[in-house]
Structure 1
Amino acid sequence: MEELAQLLIEQGISISSVESFTVGGFANMIGSISGISAVYRGSLVSYQTCIKRDVLKIDEKIIDQFGVVSNEVAGFMAIQGQKMFASDLCISFTGNAGPSAMEGKPVGLIYIAIAYAQKIHTFCFELSGSREEIKKQAILLGIEKILNILKKNEE
């Protein structure tokens, strides 16, 4: 997270997050970095479906068709978070950390989306471990994906 924070601060790129199953873990991690207030706008924990629908304004038809654990919902979470926080970049996390299948989708299936520079990057992973291990792995993958995107834009 230190490397990401440094890059965001150096480049003046504002960031926000919208988290479901990670329950603010990304926000907690980035918020603990000294100096991050220069670029970190905030986070929304949209744990329940009604928050995705009522606060993030994700169309119920999208949720009904694809489920909250989906590429589509992850993308909309990032887009809406980017708008809500007026940030340059927004990362979203949605998935199933267990203990049982949800929407017929297995434990460990997670989606990360990153809205940045008029593009939406979405990623799907099948992780294993305890609830906490899945959350931690997802956050670390999210950090890695943001770094990759920002470094590509540098070139």
Structure 2
Amino acid sequence: MSSTATEVVRLLTVSGSTLAVAESLTGGLVAAEITSVPGASKAFRGSVTAYATELKHQLLGVDAALLAERGAVDAQVAAQMAVGVRKALGADWGIATTGVAGPEPQDGQPVGTVFVAVDGPFGPDSDGAGGGKVAALRLNGGRAEIRMESVRSVLALLLERLVSEQTGNERAQDTEQNGGF
């Protein structure tokens, strides 16, 4: 159990928010990391491991034309996976991993190409674009190292968004309590 997973579960629980996970290359490792934290059931809704490309469309609603054109290892695919799992499992937050752990390249992408995504609720200072964010990673190492670094990266991205959301809410509350100043 990582300190990042522990902090993610703590922040979700404190805010009363829920999380759903969509995984491809990590094959359930993100869900396992989150559920290793005592009390995770208060915030964790569930996960979808959509390893096969067609399942990304069928279960998570990823655009079939996008998958056909770019393959499963793509920033937009990761973003749509996060949105799709959030909707499918009725969670406040959705996170996703897709990429190439090896040993062979996939969809024209080299081993170590990974995309992690977060989709969340609109924040108090939202521009209406949603709470989504995608990170493109170029990871080194063997299959196991790439998969574990993908887990660490998606949890770090979620933690960053949760802290940002919490800070934004605190700022909004401070402003409200101080008469709008």
Taking structure 2 as the reference length, what is the TM-score of the superposition?
A: 0.83
Partner residue in 2 for 1:146: 158
CA offset digits 1:65-94 (Å, max 9, x no partner) = 221000011011011100001100010000
The structural deviation recorded for 1:56 is: 1.8
Identity, in percent, stands at 30
Task: Please say which structure displays the higher CA radius of gyration.
Answer: 2
Q: How many residues align?
A: 155
Matched, 1:31 2:47: no
Quick one: distance in 2 between partners of 1:6 and 1:111?
Answer: 25
Partner residue in 2 for 1:79: 83
Q: Where does structure 1 lack aligned partners over 5 or more consecutive residues?
A: none
Residue aligned with 2:134, SS? strand
Quick one: distance in 2 between partners of 1:91 and 1:59?
Answer: 17
Taking structure 1 as the reference length, what is the TM-score of the superposition?
A: 0.96
Quick one: distance in 1 between partners of 2:97 and 2:11?
Answer: 21
The structural deviation recorded for 1:53 is: 1.9
Residue aligned with 1:3, SS? helix
The structural deviation recorded for 1:59 is: 2.2
Runs of 4+ in 1 over 4 A off after TM superposition: none
Which AA in structure 1 matches 2:160? Answer: N
Q: Where does structure 2 lack aligned partners over 5 or more consecutive residues?
A: 122-129, 168-181
Residue aligned with 1:44, SS? strand
Partner residue of 2:138 out of 122, 126, 135 = 126
